[in-house]
Chain A
Amino acid sequence: MSDGNYAHGDYTGDGKALFWLALRTGLLTLFTLGIYRFWAKTRVRRYIWTSSRLDGSRFEYTGTGLEKFLGFLMAVVFLAVYLGLIQIVLFYFGLTIFAAPQTPEQALAQTAGVSVSALALMPFIFFAIYRARRYKLARTRWRGIRFGMDKDAWGYAFRAIGYWLLTLVSLGLLTPLMTFRLEKYMTDRTWFGDARFDQQGRWTALYGKMKHIFVGLALIALGVLAAALAAQSGPLLGVLSALAIPVGVVWFVIGVISYRVQSFAYLAQNKMLSGKVAFHAHPSTKTVILTYILGSIVLGICLSVATGIFGGIVAMTLSGIDFETMNGQFQPGMILPAIITVAGYLLTLTAAQAGALAAITQPILKHYVQTITVINLPALAEIQQRDADQGADAEGFADALDIGGAI
Chain B
Amino acid sequence: MKGDAHLYDGRSAARHAVHVELSRDLQALVITGEALPEPLVWPLPDLRALGDHADDSQIVLARHRETEDESLRDPARLVVEDPEMVAWLRRTRPRLNRKDLRTGTGRRIALRLGGALAAVALMLFVILPALANTLAGLLPLEKEIAFGRSVKAQMERFLGATEVGALDCDEPDGQAALDRMVARLTEGQDLDYPLEVSVIDHKMMNAFAAPGGQIVVVRGLLDKADGPDMVAAVLAHEIGHVVHRDPTRHALRSAGSVGLLGLVFGDFTGGAAMVFLAERLINASYSQSAEAEADAYAHEALLAAGLPPSALGDMFETFRAEFGDREGPMAHFASHPQLSARIAAARAATPEGLPDRPVLDAAEWQALKTICDGRG
Contact = CB atoms under 8 A, between A and B. Distances in A.
B8 A62 contact: no
Contact of A100 (B60, B131, B140, B271): B140
Nearest to A350: B269
Contacts of B112: 70, 73-74
Contacts of A346: 269-270, 273
A126 to B, nearest CB: 18
A327 B67 CA distance: 67
B12 A400 contact: no
B54 A328 contact: no
A83 interface: yes
Contacts of A50: 50, 52-55, 60
Nearest to B138: A95
Contacts of A66: 101, 105, 109
A79 B263 contact: yes
A142 B79 CA distance: 12
B55 A57 contact: no
Interface in A363-406: 380-385, 388, 390-391, 399-402
A58 B135 CA distance: 57
A73 B116 contact: yes
A390 B70 CA distance: 7
B259 to A, nearest CB: 8
A34 B204 contact: no
Label chain B's interface by main secondary structure.
mixed
Interface residues of A, number: 73
Interface stretch (A84-92, A221-229, A309-317): A84-92
B11 interface: yes
Contacts, number: 175
B54 A51 contact: yes
A64 interface: yes
B265 interface: yes
Contacts of A401: 263
B60 A34 contact: no
Contacts of B140: 99-101
Interface in B125-178: 127-128, 131, 134-135, 138, 140, 142
B64 to A, nearest CB: 14
A57 B58 CA distance: 12
A79 B76 CA distance: 38
A144 B9 contact: yes
Contacts of B263: 76, 79-80, 83, 400-401
A76 B268 contact: no
B70 A46 contact: no
A143 B15 contact: yes
A77 interface: yes
Contacts of A73: 112-113, 115-116
Given A63-B70, A346-B269, A80 B54 contact: no
A20 B131 CA distance: 46
Contacts of A9: none
Nearest to A69: B109
B94 interface: no
Contacts of B260: 80, 83
Interface string A49-73: 0110000111010111011011001
Interface in A301-359: 327-328, 346, 349-350, 353
Interface in B37-83: 50-55, 60, 67-71, 73, 75-77, 79
B268 A37 contact: yes
Given A100-B140, A328-B203, A381-B12, A43 B51 contact: yes
A400 B266 contact: yes
B12 A46 contact: no
A279 B69 CA distance: 30
B172 to A, nearest CB: 30
Contacts of B75: 141, 144, 146, 385
A17 interface: yes
Interface in B245-274: 256, 259-260, 263-271, 273-274
A200 interface: no
B108 interface: yes
B269 A30 contact: yes
B267 A70 contact: no
Contacts of B113: 73
A217 to B, nearest CB: 33
A391 B71 CA distance: 12
6 closest Cβ contacts across the A-B interface? Answer: A144-B8, A46-B52, A51-B54, A73-B112, A100-B140, A73-B116
5 contacts: A62-B71, A83-B263, A328-B203, A350-B269, A381-B13
Given A30-B268, A383-B12, 13 more contacts: A17-B54, A46-B53, A50-B53, A74-B115, A81-B119, A84-B122, A84-B128, A99-B138, A145-B8, A327-B203, A382-B13, A384-B11, A401-B263
